[in-house]
Structures are given as structure tokens and as C-alpha cells.
Structure 1
Amino acid sequence: MIYNKENIQDLRDIIVTEQKNRKKVIWTNGCFDIMHPGHMRNFEACKEVADIVIVGLNGDASPYWKTKPGRPINNENFRAKMLTELKNVDFVYIFDDETPEKPVDFLKPDAILKGGDYILESKRDRIKKNGSILDLTNVYREIIAEGSEKYAHEKGYLEEGIVCASNGGSVYIVPIVSGYSTTNIVEKMDTTKMRQSKILVVGDVMLDRFDYGDVRRLNPESPNPLLNVTKEEFRLGGSANVAANILGLDEACDLVGMTGRDLHRDIFIRLCKEKSVRFFELLTNTPTITKQRFIENTYKQQLLRVDYEASVKLSEADETYVLNLVKDGNYEIIIISDYNKGMISEKLIKELKKSNIKILVDAKPKNVEFFRDVYLVKPNFKEFCQMIGNDIENTDEEIEKYGKAFAKEMNTNLVITRGNKGASIFTKDLEYFHIETKAKEAFDVTGAGDTFIATIGWALVGGYNLFDAVKLGNKASGIVIGKTGTEIIKKEELF
């Protein structure tokens, strides 16, 4: 059985019942991202000294992962399921704190067991040994009596050991099984392959859902079309669509963004794996942003869109995580895909600009001031009008007047997408170009902006100059608007 803070009382009730039946309950914990023989030995040791084994599992939202970019490799649900399949594990409890003092205090097991060198040097001579298991119960009772603050900063100190011993429990340690550790296994992986991405996409990730159906009559409850749904599809949306387009152009890409603990998140993670998008997840307590579109089959027209979302500010810990990701990577391009849902903060952008990596921005007007001095800003015409606070005409003359001023003021290259009038480029050197687009019926503009900036990033990494990169971006977005839904560009479609 798998438990978390929502049903922890149920697990506590089970423990009380087992203890009344004279069963000894023990707690052990870890991340268990990649299982190895050292973990197996810990679970065996738990069964040697107790009857019921509860395994505490660092959840995906635990601060433990903030200093480990790219981890966990397996999500909490996968890891918990693996643990429940082991014969020496009875229950799994997923916790989101960095360390497990709170659940240990609430559940009150009879003992805890840790694998590793958690031995205080000042108390080494007081340790009892029972085969390969070290008994530190008397050590922690002495520490409590003497005042735990005296030892709190000593290497090997376990706060959960203090909690358990204070509740009358025992504390055990099992030495590390030589040659096995998750960290070492990860380091032995093909890190060159894992770190080959030259492009990092940072932004608001979304799940796009499309419900297709037929309209044969009006809704008898209201004067609206009644859609009989015949098919549903899920696709990567928001900044994830930018990443998917880059992958479609045969370029490796990393993605970082926020998701919630829900079924939409599970679908999103599955799609990332299917598309080979390397996703660095920031887990929140808000819903995974999902856009649900209802589309009529015959003419492929969108009848209704329903959004599931709640804005959340990027935490300081998550900002640090993203900055460490950039520091540890080998990126040539960072694409900011800002839908103003909370992922992008002024502080984050300020720190990213210090990396001296080319930053390409597709941003909502509200946050435009964040992006002074970046390499490129790419609004569409409507967004550009909002950025400058003026409803100008979509003519070359007006675009030139305000585009040059914007590029100079913001110290950035500027690309404005102008619908059927193509795109306009303004460089930091105040050169400007207008790129025409081939007339094409706009079947569905969903995700066209994502395709545009993804193609620019891909082209710049491939050695194209800015002008040619924008030409390719213009061509790519013109291709995808002739498709239905959040579709991506393919390399073979460009050439």
C-alpha cells in the first residue's frame, strides 16, 4: 500500500493495530531512484529486527532534488510502485520534506533504520553491534539527555533518530554495501549523451487536449451546438510545444517547467518520454495547466476551449534549481516561453542573463521589462502593440518607426510576426528587414508562435545567421498553421 500526507492517519491506525498485536514496526527511507543491492540489504536488515517495514520515499517535490539537476530519473509513482513489489516492504509513505522527522514523529514506529555511515565520532565507542547491524539506540538516548543541540552539527547526526528515540524507539544503522550507490550509477551513465542538448527551453508547460466530434443538432438544454465526441488527443503545449518542435527538427532539447500532482501531469510526462523531450520537472500543488479544445470533425472548427490552470509564483528553491541546471549544462541557446503563468520571474531572468548564453524570448507583454539586453524578443503584432502601449497600423512604415525604437531602448534584436504580412526584424545595430510570407489559409494558428521561435533557436545553433534563421521560422510557422491542433514542424518539411 502507498500512503502520503493526505491519508497518513490511515497508516497510523494500521501501525497502532500492529503494535497492539505485539508486532514491531520499523521505518527506513531514501530516494530509491535506481534500485541496487545496497537498498535490498537495508530492507533485509529491517526484517531482521522488525515485523512490519515502512519505507519513506522522497517525493518528486522534495527539496532533496533541488541540488540534483535531472533527478529523479523515475517519478514518485514509479518508485513507490517498485518498492511495493518487494517482499521485504510492507508499506510506502511518500513525503515532500527534505528529511522525514515529521512523518516519523506522527507515525511513531518502534524503530528506524538507515543505510550509510551515520555514526557520530564522539559516540563511536558507545555503539552496539548485532552482526552487520549497528544499534545506536543508547547513543541517541544519551544525546537527548545531554541536549541534542550539542551534536546537531556533527557529521552522522540524524534528526529522525532523535525523534524516534524521544518516542521510545530504537535506532539502527546498516553500513553501505561497498560498490553500490545511486549517485555512482548515475555518474557511470553516458553523460555525454545525456548532456548533448544545446538548447534549453524555460517556461510555462501545458497539456493540450483535443476532443473531436460531430454536430448533428442543437443542445436541447441551451441554444448551442451539441458535440458528440468521437476521438480525443493529447499533445504537448505551451513551452513544451517549443521543445517538441525542436525535437521535430532533429535537435536535442531540454525543458524545465512546473506541473501539478494530477492525472494531466501523468499524461504530460508520458508524452515527454514519447517525444524524447528531456523534462526537468518542478512539482507544485497547483493543477498542471491544461487547455481543452472541442473541435467539429467536418470543418475542423474549434467550438469551445476550456482551461484548467492556477497561477503560481516560482519559488526561490526552484529558481536555484533552474540556475544550477544552466550552470551544469552546455547550452548555446536558452528559449524563454513565457505565457505569464508564474514560471518566469524577474529575478530568474536577471540571473540567466549573467550566463552569457543567447536568450530568445517569446513573452507576454506584461513581463516585457524583464527582457532588456537579451539576444532576441519575438512578439506577434498584437503583443507588440501592447508592449509599446500603442495600437499602431500593421504597415511597414509604422512597424519600422516603433520597431527601431523598441530594439534601441531594450538593447535587443526584435522579431515581430505579422500574420499574413510575414515578419519584421530589427537588429541591435538598428538594421531592419521585412520578410514576406507565402499566402496560405490559416487552418489553425494554435502553437504557430512556438514553432517560429523553436525554429529560430534550432537554426542559430546550426550556424544560420539571424536573418536566415527568421526566414526559416517564418516558413515553419506558415506550414504548421495549415495543420489542425498543436502540430510540430518536421525538418523535411522545411527543405
Structure 2
Amino acid sequence: MISLPPFNRARVLVAGDVMLDRYWTGSTSRISPEAPVPIVKVGADRALPGGAANVALNLAALGVGTQLLGVIGSDEAGVLLRQRLVEADIAASLVESASHPTITKLRVMSRNQQVIRLDFEESLADEAAFDRAVFAADFDRQLRDVDAVILSDYGKGTLSDVATLIALCRAANKPVTIDPKGSDYARYAGATLLTPNLAELEAVVGVCADDETLVVKATQLMLGLQLQALLVTRSEKGMSLLRPGQPALHLPTVAREVFDVTGAGDTVIATLTAALAAGADIEDAVRLSNLAAGVTVGKLGAATVSPAELRAQLSPDRGSEQLAMSEDTLLAWAQQQRARGQRIVMTNGCFDLLHVGHLRYLEGARALGDVLIIAVNSDASVRKLKGPTRPLNTAADRMRILAGLKCVDAVVEFVEDTPARLISRVLPDVLVKGGDYTVEQVAGHEAVAAAGGRTVILDFHNGYSTTSTIARAQQN
């Protein structure tokens, strides 16, 4: 049985194409009179580490000691990226280029849909972009303090001299994993492991119509490049691990629902390498990365995975207990999520008898952000609201059941009549309530709005209610 390795004892260096992911989010209510395009009234501006910096963010989320080496411009985007990395406790060594901007992807969003993406970048493969000798020397210096290395290649030019970095890793006897780009894989010869997705692999070896063809072609590539392993991620088909002289390991996907595959490759290589650095064997490391991928695709946007989420995948009962938190633990957890760029969604209720309407409502709430917190009425609070015969289930049991749902990330109890005080302490990015409320009636909406968040009313699903379920049971 797989166990979670001691991630907090591992140190990993990430080098590659760092970026800043920006999100401008707002409402859309009309079409521009100047052109047939929607007008987005921007109300929120989020800036998150992207590219190799998102790989580093995934490592930090696991508790790994993380170092990052990359190139940024002398601009506002570079300043923002540095700030976000400091907040995530990532030791970043970022070379500033005087001639090239920080690679930035700006997404304009409305109603959870991307309206347009604007890219700001110039190829760092240009010899004048930065001093590669200085970069390699810094890389070599940092190698001494880490257990493993990730080279995150997004094809932007930072790793145009990747062969030199691989040679340095081999000389220092440090495992080096690479997320490759392009069709020239010869430049990655001698690496420990590559993690191409199926489309990237087929661009190099040709179409792989079935498992047998994939194994043959991927094995030939692996042996030709003198790799120790090759991991092919295959979207809904899971992933396949190839090793010299051993049978292929095909792992099915573990995702229950897929909201967004953005950044899933970053999560895979980060989890895999973190596990190797922490002492896991390669097969267990791949299995953990597959579990992590299943978690992250259930979130919107490039997301990270915590040890608690992985632990919940390995041991659902134990994980459910850990997701039910005290208020102080929740506040510390929420602060960690916010530092990692996660968008926090919060809702509340009695949730006495869970039914399909509840599940659809909670899945809809989770889709509005990255993590979902549920505040649950105490038993005394339920009695005040529902009468002396309720609740049917204790607060502890209700919290345990909610924590077992895939779409729930944290559960906390509140003892007051409303969760307004708790909400004012958590200050979620999105506060959610069911469709029989108006925004003005939602407890805590003023504090959330004052902090720059928003309140969303979701429609209830007709035909489902705890009261009607109890009535039907009594009639029967």
C-alpha cells in the first residue's frame, strides 16, 4: 500500500520558463457599440505564478523546500511575480532581463468563461536576453542543496541550453525530471525521466493508436535518449510508465469529475519529483502523481494539491476526519490556500439529511473557485431554526459526511444563529447561498464585499429538500 512520503524533508530545485498568470474578472451585460465584442466591467485582478513558477507552487503546496531559477523582465509583472513567490515561501533566484519582458498571460474572464487571452512575451532563446553562463553557474551552485531537479520547459527559451543543465545534474548525481516541449527530444538525452503528454509524444514518435504501439515507440525513444524512465500522461486514459527491461505500468485516471485540465502537467511532475526526493520509489511516485492529477483537474484553473488532499485519496476515512477543522485550524489553512493563489469559496447550512439537491448545489459552489469551505450549524443552532425534533444527525456526523464529498475541501462548525462572525474572519473570495435568498439577506455578505469578494446566489434544484424527505419517510 502506498504511503505519503515525508515531503517536508525534501528539497527540489525548479528551473525553466517562469511566467505570471493574470486574471481580470468582471460582469458582462452588453455588446460594445464599437465592435461585436462583449464589454467586461473588470472587478477583480488576480496575479498568480505560472509556468515553471506554478511547478514551484505545486511543490510548496506539498510542503517541499522549494528553490526556483528563472528569468523575468524589469517590469511590474516581474515585481508581482516576486511578491507571489515570497508569499508562497519559495526561494526564488530570478535573473532580470533588461531587454525582455516578464512572460505574462492575461486572461479576461466573465461568468467563469474566458473571453480572451493576451500574451506578453519575447523569446528568451535570443542570446541577448540573459547571460546563460551566469544562469548555469547559479544552477550549479543551487544543485548542492537539493535532492532533485525539475526542468520545466514551456518552449520560451530559458532552457535553450538544457543539455548543459542535464550534464551538471548528472555530475552532481541528482535526479532530473523534465516536462518537455517541441519535437527535438535529443536535447533531453541523459535526463532521469521525461513527462510528455500523449500529443507531445506523438509529435516526436508518430501516432500511437493503441497501448502496444505506444509502449513500443515510447520504449525506443527512452532507450535512444538513455533515460531511466518515461512517463506519458494520457488525459482521460490515465498515464503510462515505461522503464528499461520492465513491463509497462498503465494507470487509469482517478478523476471523478473534470472541471479544468489547466496546470495538470505541472502537478504531475511536481508530485512525482517531490516523492522521489522524499525517498519514494519511482512506481509509488508515479501512483501518487496520478492521484494528484485526479484532484487538480477537479478544480478551476491551474491548481495545487495539498498533502491532506493526497492523504484523503489514499485513506478516505482518515482524510474526511482531517477536513473537518476547528475554527483556528481553518483560518490557518485558509491563509495557506490564499498564499498559494487559491480562490476560496464558502457556503453554510444545516445539511441534516444529505440529498442529491445538496450535492448539485455544493458541486456548483466548488466550480466558482479552487477550494470550498462549508460552515455547518451546531446542533443547538439547528434546533433554533428547525424545531426541537431536529437535527436528525449530530454536527459531528454531518461534518464527517460532508468532508467525504469530493467537492468539499474543509468543514467547520459554528455555534451562533448565523455564520456572519466566522465569515468575517475567513473572508472568502466567493460567498455562496441557495436560491431562496437575495444577496442582501446572506449573512456575512457585507464583510465579503468590503474585502473585495462577491456573493453568488445559486438556484436550488426543484424536488429536493430535507423536510420533504422526512415527510415521505413518515408517510411510508
- The TM-score normalised by the length of structure 2 is 0.59
When residues 439 and 278 of structure 1 are mapped into structure 2, their CA distance, relative to the original with a 3 A threshold, is closer
Conserved? CA contact 2:184–2:204, under 8 Å: no
Q: Secondary structure at the match of 1:431?
A: strand
2:46 is aligned with 1:233: yes
Between Structure 1 and Structure 2, whose CA radius of gyration is higher?
1
Q: Alpha-carbon deviation of 1:200?
A: 0.5
2:126 is aligned with 1:309: no
2:92 is aligned with 1:279: yes
Calculate the aligned-residue CA RMSD, in Å: 1.9
What is the match of residue 178 of structure 1? none
Q: Secondary structure at the match of 1:226?
A: strand
Contiguous gaps of at least 5 residues in structure 1:
1-195
CA distance in 1, matches of 2:23, 2:34: 23
Conserved? CA contact 1:359–1:375, under 8 Å: yes
What is the match of residue 298 of structure 2? 482
Conserved? CA contact 2:255–2:295, under 8 Å: no
What is the match of residue 322 of structure 1? 138
When residues 463 and 349 of structure 1 are mapped into structure 2, their CA distance, relative to the original with a 3 A threshold, is closer
What is the match of residue 278 of structure 2? 462
2:181 is aligned with 1:368: no
CA distance in 1, matches of 2:121, 2:141: 26
Once the two structures are superposed, the pairs formed by residues 43-58 of structure 1 within 5 Å of their partners are none
Q: Secondary structure at the match of 1:229?
A: strand
Structure 2 counterpart of 1:349, one-letter code: I
Deviates more, 1:214-223 or 1:198-207: 214-223
The one of 251, 262, 265 equivalent to 1:449 is: 265
The one of 352, 366, 377 equivalent to 2:169 is: 352
- Counting matched residue pairs gives 296
**What do the CA deviations read for 1:287-314 (whole angstroms, capped 9, x no partner)?**
01111112222xx222221111111235
Q: Alpha-carbon deviation of 1:340?
A: 1.4
Conserved? CA contact 1:208–1:486, under 8 Å: no
**What do the CA deviations read for 1:97-133 (whole angstroms, capped 9, x no partner)?**
xxxxxxxxxxxxxxxxxxxxxxxxxxxxxxxxxxxxx
When residues 348 and 463 of structure 1 are mapped into structure 2, their CA distance, relative to the original with a 3 A threshold, is closer
Conserved? CA contact 1:236–1:486, under 8 Å: no
CA distance in 2, matches of 1:483, 1:290: 22
Structure 2 counterpart of 1:424, one-letter code: S
CA distance in 2, matches of 1:348, 1:456: 20
Conserved? CA contact 1:444–1:484, under 8 Å: yes
Conserved? CA contact 1:259–1:282, under 8 Å: yes
Conserved? CA contact 1:365–1:384, under 8 Å: no
2:257 is aligned with 1:257: no
What is the match of residue 230 of structure 2? 414
CA distance in 2, matches of 1:478, 1:232: 28
**What do the CA deviations read for 1:56-94 (whole angstroms, capped 9, x no partner)?**
xxxxxxxxxxxxxxxxxxxxxxxxxxxxxxxxxxxxxxx
CA distance in 1, matches of 2:188, 2:23: 33
**What do the CA deviations read for 1:421-474 (whole angstroms, capped 9, x no partner)?**
000000133431100012433322221111110000111122221111111111
Q: Secondary structure at the match of 1:264?
A: helix
The one of 176, 188, 207 equivalent to 1:391 is: 207
CA distance in 2, matches of 1:440, 1:221: 44
Q: Alpha-carbon deviation of 1:477?
A: 1.7
When residues 428 and 315 of structure 1 are mapped into structure 2, their CA distance, relative to the original with a 3 A threshold, is farther
CA distance in 1, matches of 2:132, 2:310: 41
When residues 199 and 293 of structure 1 are mapped into structure 2, their CA distance, relative to the original with a 3 A threshold, is same
CA distance in 2, matches of 1:211, 1:397: 45
Q: Alpha-carbon deviation of 1:396?
A: 1.8
CA distance in 2, matches of 1:488, 1:271: 14
Q: Alpha-carbon deviation of 1:382?
A: 0.8
